[in-house]
Amino acid sequence: MIHFILLISRHGKIRCSKYFSTYSNKEREKLQKEIKGLTIGRNSKLCNFLEYKEMILVAKRYASLYFVLGQDKEENELISLEVLQFFVEILDKYFKNVCELDIIFNFHKAYYLLDEMLVAGHIIETSKKQILRVIANQDEIMEDALVETETRSS
């Protein structure tokens, strides 16, 4: 299974961190620090798979963000790379040509999209259309609520 996903900026800022396994706050900090060291600045000609403790890290850089995924040793690395690719494509479709800024200001949307894609560390939906439909639905409800409060206050 997938244990965590991290989105790290070029300068080492964590833009998004989702943990599917239990890690204490201290463990998370240590993990993030070590992974930053391992992935940032890694030559893109090297392979995307690194061994880290008893896991394998799958790291890929998209523009200015490093997408890092931590998986069990038994998992198929190439398919995890697909998972990352899928995530990026969904973000791209949702934000219409996504860039790092979108994720900085709308981090909660990134989390919601991730939630539709992966639950308990497993991929459960492989259709982009489906996921985007669900999120669009959620957005609508939130919009309605917003309109409601505005009409009430006005």
- Provide the binding-site residues for other proteins, judged by CB under 8 A: 1, 14-15, 17, 19-20, 22, 24-25, 29, 43, 45-51, 74, 76-79, 81-82, 104-105, 107-108, 111-112, 115, 119-120, 122-126, 130, 134, 137-138, 141-142, 145-146, 149
Nearest CB to other proteins, comparing residues 64 and 138: 138
In the chain, the amino acid numbered 139 is D
The nearest distance, CB 46 to other proteins, in angstroms, is: 4
Map residue 59 onto helix, strand or coil.
Answer: strand
User: Which parts of the chain are beta strand (E)?
Assistant: 2-9, 14-19, 49-52, 55-62, 65-72, 118-119, 122-123
Output the smallest distance, CB 76 to other proteins, in A. Answer: 5
Report how far residue 84's alpha carbon sits from residue 137's, in angstroms, rounded to the nearest whole number. Answer: 24
Q: Which of 13, 16, 37, 36 is nearest to 98 (CA)?
A: 16
Q: Which 8-state DSSP code applies to residue 46?
A: S
Indicate the residue among 63 and 147 with the shorter CB distance to other proteins: 147
- 63 versus 126: smaller Cβ distance to other proteins: 126
Amino acid identity of 56? Answer: I
Residue 67 CB, shortest distance to other proteins, in Å, is 15
- Closest CB 68 distance from other proteins, rounded Å: 15
What contacts 11, CB < 8 A, 6 or more positions away?
Answer: none
* Shortest separation between residue 99's beta carbon and other proteins, angstroms: 14
Compare residues 92 and 116 and give the one whose CB is closer to other proteins.
116
